[in-house]
Amino acid sequence: MKALIYNGPRNVKIADVPDAKLERPTDALVKITSTNICGSDLHMYEGRTNVEKGKVLGHENLGQVVEVGDAVDRVKVGDWVCVPFNIACGFCENCERGFTGYCLTANPGTAGAAYGYAGMGPYHGGQAEYLRVPYADFNCLVLPPDAEEKEADYVMLADIFPTGWHATELAGVQPGESVVIYGAGPVGLLAAYSATIKGAAQVMIVDRHPDRLRLAQTIGAIAIDDSKVSPVERVLELTNGQGADRGCECVGWQAHDPQGHEHPNMTMNNLVQSVRPTGGLGVVGVFVPEDPKGPDELSRHGQIPFEIGKYFEKGLSMGSGQCNVKAYNRRLMKLIHAGKAKPSFIASHHLSLVQAPDAYKHFDAREDGWTKVILRPAA
């Protein structure tokens, strides 16, 4: 089958790879009709991970079931399904408590597995014609009858919408509260959108890309351009000097200033400064334990100079980590189905699989208007 594979730093290509197929009686095989490029794919693309050449990328996948194993009871051939980026068994000590992003079974020796991702197990991704889905009854979200009509919305349930939602959950956003979000990429935008759905009174979002800030405004968020103002000062100004009730980190370790210099602690410490005493932080931007190409000695070992003094004085709390997609995807699906959420507002490009290498280039360059790419392998 055709698939997009990693071929080295800033080098991805479409290749013929062995067909995805059932390997265990609990597997399903899904014909992929929509698969997104994720901002976290760019960490691999830029050579900042140890992903192996030949890996099929793609962890935001939606399609139609074409075959199921003997032990699959719920999912049927013909079902339209959206597949969480986490691969989870459903029965380990972490999965049974809902931590499907930290499954102990699917990637032995590590907590957590995913499709097509560095360090997340031997699984190929879905930027391809077909995808093998392990533990299919547990992992497949079966979509309602409007699956095809709202496919661009539903595909956001694989990762980016739940991950934005997760940021607001980790931060503890409650109705009536104020929230500041660092990063207006797809995750940040959907964190802002999630906060709005939950009834936040005031949603502020910090970025510097005009296209992203414009999109943020279309969903009612207050856009803060950190190439023009101090985001901390602006947040304090907008909150009567108190700081926001909650804050979300949607950038991660490759945070950089408007001039492009990386400062892995920039958004974290800005958050500590921007959030009021007793507040909460949600960190979903990726930080890594080792980064040989990091800008300084600390960052190369996964450390940042962190403002623990202010953090403690304010009595802050901070949740972190990758999203447990299954914790939220069904209820977000219901919001889409009921017409109360339309996360596809972030989608800027619908392309074929062969256009993927080019799309990686534009998206990685953060070119104006390249907010989010949906690939359509079956088109």
Residue 176 beta carbon to a copy of itself: minimum distance, rounded to whole angstroms: 3
Give 212-217 contacts, CB < 8 A, sequence gap 24+.
212/184, 212/185, 212/188, 212/371, 213/184, 215/184, 215/189, 215/345, 215/346, 215/371, 216/184, 216/189, 216/192
**E strand or H helix at 362, and its extent?**
helix 356-364
Q: Are strands 275-283 and 317-320 parallel, antiparallel or unpaired?
A: parallel
Residue 111 beta carbon to a copy of itself: minimum distance, rounded to whole angstroms: 4
Residue 14 beta carbon to a copy of itself: minimum distance, rounded to whole angstroms: 31
* CB-facing half-sphere around the CA of 252: CA atoms within 13 A: 20
Residue 323 beta carbon to a copy of itself: minimum distance, rounded to whole angstroms: 9
* DSSP for 187-201, written as a single string: HHHHHHHHHHHTT-S
Residue 81 beta carbon to a copy of itself: minimum distance, rounded to whole angstroms: 12
For residues 22 and 130, what is the distance between their CA atoms, to the nearest angstrom?
11
Closer by beta carbon to a copy of itself, 321 or else 357: 321
Closer by beta carbon to a copy of itself, 300 or else 361: 300
Residue 269 beta carbon to a copy of itself: minimum distance, rounded to whole angstroms: 8
Closer by beta carbon to a copy of itself, 155 or else 336: 336
Asked if 6 and 52 touch (Cβ cutoff 8 Å), the reply is yes
Closer by beta carbon to a copy of itself, 149 or else 313: 313
* CB-facing half-sphere around the CA of 14: CA atoms within 13 A: 15
Closer by beta carbon to a copy of itself, 21 or else 24: 24
Residue 193 beta carbon to a copy of itself: minimum distance, rounded to whole angstroms: 11
Closer by beta carbon to a copy of itself, 285 or else 377: 285
Cα 301–Cα 305–Cα 309 angle in degrees, nearest 5: 140
Residue 41 beta carbon to a copy of itself: minimum distance, rounded to whole angstroms: 18
Closer by beta carbon to a copy of itself, 58 or else 84: 84
Closer by beta carbon to a copy of itself, 84 or else 126: 84
For residues 362 and 328, what is the distance between their CA atoms, to the nearest angstrom?
31
For residues 80 and 66, what is the distance between their CA atoms, to the nearest angstrom?
10
Give the type of residue at 45.
Y
Residue 17 beta carbon to a copy of itself: minimum distance, rounded to whole angstroms: 26
Closer by beta carbon to a copy of itself, 200 or else 373: 200
Residue 86 beta carbon to a copy of itself: minimum distance, rounded to whole angstroms: 11
Closest CA to 143 of 248, 30, 253: 30
**How many C-beta atoms surround the C-beta of residue 270 within 10 A?**
24
**E strand or H helix at 329, and its extent?**
helix 329-337
Closer by beta carbon to a copy of itself, 215 or else 238: 238
**E strand or H helix at 41, and its extent?**
helix 41-45
Q: What are phi and psi of 227, to 5 degrees?
A: -90, -5
Pull the structure tokens for residue 97: 């408590």
